Amino acid sequence: MRRLFPVTDVTDETAAREWSLAEIAAAYAYPEPGPGGREPWLRANMVSTLDGAAQHDGRSQPISCPADMRIFGTLRALADVVVVGAQTVRQEGYRPARARDEFAAAREAAGQGPAPVIAVVTASLDLDFSLPLFTSPLAPTLLLTGSGAAPDRVAAAEKAGARVITAGEGGAVDPARAVRALADLGHTRLLTEGGPRLLGQLVAAGVLDELCLTVSPMLTAGDAQRISGGPSVTLPRRFALKSMLEEDGFLFTRYQRS
Ligand SMILES: NC(=O)c1ccc[n+]([C@@H]2O[C@H](COP(=O)([O-])OP(=O)(O)OC[C@H]3O[C@@H](n4cnc5c(N)ncnc54)[C@H](OP(=O)(O)O)[C@@H]3O)[C@@H](O)[C@H]2O)c1
């Protein structure tokens, strides 16, 4: 993998070899805490084709690559919590995050548990609570929902071991309230993996600090979703390029809120 931006050394020796997980982790470190402590930082990690498709045949795997998956795993290993929309959980068959030996010491030093907590955003709580995501995670899976969630679904979720957190009125989760609720639990290094309907709301609510976007060198045509959907914002949100890596024609970009 090679770094294209910022350009530091044209004879970069790393260009000819695979980066170690530690090198990737260093390239994607969360911002250091300020004098007042660590503020919540919400990063999204998404992949898109050249023509803007965020999935192919309902999944993101066909537009990804091994280096993308290494970055995906590393971003998880840096996070306190992974926030994900319920449809992505249903469609991609989400499993609990696993503890990885390669990151154990760094996570312990950062005061983190062995693996990030998964937090599912859902109004319906229409999820299969017999799945490992609920029955055997290393830390209980969180369900972020609205105050109007059906009591029988809440009871079923809690019986399965999930922790239900109200972060909105009626059916909808309020993104800013969800970020605050997670920070109140001590989760400030936030990672969202979408999907597009959830990401669109995070963008519109102005709570997204960073986008790690993999640009996949593929064209798919069709009518697949873009990486963020829903109603458009009044004024485009401006982000600044922080870094760009490349391997095998895939671009791994990192943009932060300007
Ligand atoms: N390219 C990528 O990087 C990437 C990443 C992730 C996913 N994907 C693809 O995206 C597709 C799924 O994404 P999607 O956009 O359809 O769905 P999504 O954003 O993953 O999930 C939508 C669901 O999340 C819940 N939700 C979202 N906002 C909510 C709010 N404010 N309050 C309460 N609940 C809320 C609702 O769940 P309930 O229905 O349970 O109420 C809603 O139906 C899949 O094909 C997946 O492969 C691509």
| Range 38-231 has CATH code 3.40.430.10 | yes
61, 71, 88, 251, best to mutate for ligand 1 pocket (most atoms within 8 Å of CB): 88
The pLDDT score that the predictor gives to residue 15 is 76
Residue 14 has pLDDT above 80, yes or no: no
The pLDDT score that the predictor gives to residue 159 is 96
Between 176 and 16, the more confident residue is 176
3-state secondary structure of 190: strand
Is the CB of residue 100 less than 8 Å from the CB of residue 73?
yes
The pLDDT score that the predictor gives to residue 8 is 72
Is the minimum distance from the CB of 148 to ligand 1 under 6 angstroms?
no
pLDDT band at residue 127 using 50, 70 and 90 as cut-offs = very high
Q: What is the pLDDT of residues 169-185, one digit of tens each?
A: 998 999 999 999 999 99
The residues spanned by each domain of the chain are: 38-231
Is the minimum distance from the CB of 201 to ligand 1 under 6 angstroms?
yes
Mean pLDDT across the stretch 124-147?
A: 96
The pLDDT score that the predictor gives to residue 189 is 98
Residue type, 8: T
Backbone angles phi, psi at 42, to 5 degrees: -105, 115
Q: Which two tokens stand for residue 94?
A: 């989400």
Residue 76 has pLDDT above 70, yes or no: yes
What would the DSSP string read from start to end of 97-148?
A: ----HHHHHHHHHTT--SSPEEEEE-SS--S-TTSHHHHS-SSPPEEEE-TT
61, 120, 198, 226, best to mutate for ligand 1 pocket (most atoms within 8 Å of CB): 198
The pLDDT score that the predictor gives to residue 13 is 75
pLDDT band at residue 10 using 50, 70 and 90 as cut-offs = low
Residue 43 CA to residue 254 CA, distance in Å, equals 10
Q: What is the pLDDT of residues 24-34, one digit of tens each?
A: 999 999 999 99
Mean pLDDT across the stretch 128-137?
A: 95
Q: What is the pLDDT of residues 216-238, one digit of tens each?
A: 999 999 999 999 999 999 999 99
Give the CA angle between residues 174, 175, 177 to the nearest 5°: 65
Residue 154 has pLDDT above 80, yes or no: yes
19 Cα to the center of ligand 1, angstroms: 31
Rg of the chain over all Cα atoms, to the nearest angstrom: 18
**Length of the chain measured in residues:** 258
Is the minimum distance from the CB of 55 to ligand 1 under 6 angstroms?
yes
Q: Of all residues in the chain, what percent carry a pLDDT higher than 90?
A: 93
Is the minimum distance from the CB of 162 to ligand 1 under 6 angstroms?
no
Is the minimum distance from the CB of 200 to ligand 1 under 6 angstroms?
no
Closest-CA residue, ligand 1 atom 7, reads 195
Mean pLDDT across the stretch 65-82?
A: 98
Mean pLDDT across the stretch 61-74?
A: 98
Across the strands, what pairs with 5? 244
